[in-house]
Amino acid sequence: MALDGVLLNCILAELEDKIIGGRIDRVYQPERDEIHIGIRQNNRDRKLLISASPNYPRIHITKTQKSNPITPPVFCMVLRKHLIGGRIIGIEQPDFERILILSVEARDELGDLSTKRLIVEIMGRHSNIILVDDRDIIIDSIKRIGEGISRLRQVLPGSTYNFPPSQNKHNPLIQDEITLKSILGISLDSKRAARMIFDSFTGISKVTAQEIVYRAKIEGIIGQSSTVDSYLEDGLFHSFITFFEDVKRMDYRPTIMKDESGRPLDIFPFLFYQFPVEFQEHYNSVSIALDTFFETRDRVERIRQRTSHIFKVLNTNLSRVQKKRGILLDEYEKAKNADRYKLFGELITANLYQIPEGMDKVELVNYYDPNGQSIEIILDERKTSSQNAQDYYKKYNKAKTALAMIIKQLKDAEDEIQYLETLLGNLEKCTEEIEIQEMQQELAEEGYIKLRSKRKQPKRSVKSKPYHFISSDGFDIYVGKNNTQNDRLTLRTAEPNDLWLHTKEIPGSHVVIKSRGERIPNTTLLEAGILAAYYSKANDSSNVPVDYCPRKNVRKPSGAKPGMVIYDNYKTMFVTPSEDIVNRLKRI
């Protein structure tokens, strides 16, 4: 996410309304590069988050709660000394740069009113939070920049504050028409036009420049306009002017863009039409949008980190079992010759006195063959015919015993592969910490991992919840996200006459339709079948078989692994997973 000058101006518009005139009553520094400022304005308490994180620098009102260090950092103590009790009298964004300046009027050590300025520089890895006095002398900063770090610009207590180098860029809000046309008329190529806008104007990120070019519909205009002037009037110039007229009016509609799974990808001050509109969600407050964006991003990142180890464990065990299955299949092919060994023994026994001693092979009539064909049998010339017959009987008995064991081991291996593939599918559905904890507990109980603490864990009162959809006919449909949920949903939550669904012989979620004692319409049944197929290993396939039956026909065998059940008296339908249908269903 790039927090550029346009989005920062959107934040400025909201802060002007919500913190101007407010008094600062608290200052905390929960992170090395992040401060929280408590502000009371119009009898309302608000918390301003300011972060100089190199990855996600930002400033906005937040409701996020973070624990604070026992000993406040030095910069936090400096801010408390100079800002607590002060009143915020102004906020500005100089030259549309990625900088916000908060002016705070407070009393100094002598009791006289003085104005301090808190300068927030949102500049990627160069982001900083700097406190200066009314003479622009730096009091302190959250990141001190000495000559050893930067020869061009030092940020140290006692030195004069200077703005970051402007790179000779233009303020997009105050350009006249002639200047704009001279800049925008350099290139008609869409990629070069976006790059030129990004290089020429302050506060414009690459994605914003691309949006201005996209709105100009350059590709449709090039080749149609006979002159540069007509092109500018109809295309890029008009798009640039219109875009920043909305900015000047502060006509913002904060928007989060998400991917198909709902994970936030970026945040914009209003709709960006270069991206699918259906994946962009509008918010009434840019602070709420930013809070949502970073809370979701942090949760997704935490879950990704927590699940990476489980993914590795599952894939390692899956590779092990698949290799074992390959070896067992080879042994199975060899063991299938058991009946052939028995035949050889019987034919040799029937012809004991007709086989000369010292033969290494013999050809005998196979009296089991309807056509009376002969068969060649390999012999050990060092042994008698009777001993060769006994060797083949021993091979037969050994292969017969091995075959039964191999068949059982193959069945166990196939079951374990299906179980591990189910767990991998479940892991992708995890959206909450509790769901990951349930999977870790399950893996520990099945012997795949060891939990760090062997102390008996207290029973959790909080339980994870399955997906909850409402069908087009108003019926509740539940979809399990892990085996713990699947067992709970099927064996405890579902009533005997509720409808249970699962993909046929394919790892996937348990799905339950709450019948409410009514007949379930075909539309609801189809939607539940699509959900079962979508939340299964076959979500990219078509004509996926889905079994369904009343819940009373489903049972769990003794000793079965979590999520494993058997069922009877079922029907099968074939459906094609549809993300559009899944997204259209109301989710609670």
Query: Consecutive 10-residue runs of the chain (588 residues): their mean pLDDT?
Result: 89 95 95 94 94 91 88 95 95 95 90 93 93 95 90 91 88 86 71 88 93 76 46 71 91 89 86 92 94 82 81 94 93 82 89 88 88 89 92 88 89 92 88 84 90 55 84 95 94 95 94 94 96 93 95 93 94 93 84
Question: Looking at this protein, which amino acid is placed at residue 365?
Answer: V
Tens of pLDDT, residues 17-39: 999 999 999 999 998 999 999 99
pTM score of the predicted model? 0.62
Helices (H) and strands (E) in the chain, counts: 15, 23
Measured CA to CA, the distance from residue 280 to residue 560 in angstroms comes to: 44
Distances in Å between the Cα of 94 and the Cα atoms of 98, 99, 122, 169 are: 8, 7, 13, 13
Rounded to 10°, the helix 286-335/385-429 angle is: 170
The pLDDT assigned to 188 comes to 60
What b/e sequence results for 56-81 when a residue is b if at least 16 CB atoms lie within 10 Å of its CB, and e otherwise? bbbbbbbeeeeeeeeeebebbebbbe
- At 121, is the secondary structure helix, strand, or coil? strand
> Degrees (nearest 5) of the Cα angle 251, 253, 257?
145
Domains and CATH numbers, the chain: 5-141 (2.30.310.10), 177-287 (no CATH), 309-463 (1.10.287), 467-587 (no CATH)
The pLDDT assigned to 138 comes to 96
Strand-pair partners of 549: 500
Distances in Å between the Cα of 146 and the Cα atoms of 76, 149, 153, 531 are: 20, 5, 8, 58
Query: Strand 255-258's sheet: what is its strand order?
Result: 264-268, 255-258, 280-282
DSSP 8-state secondary structure symbol assigned to residue 521: P
The pLDDT assigned to 225 comes to 45
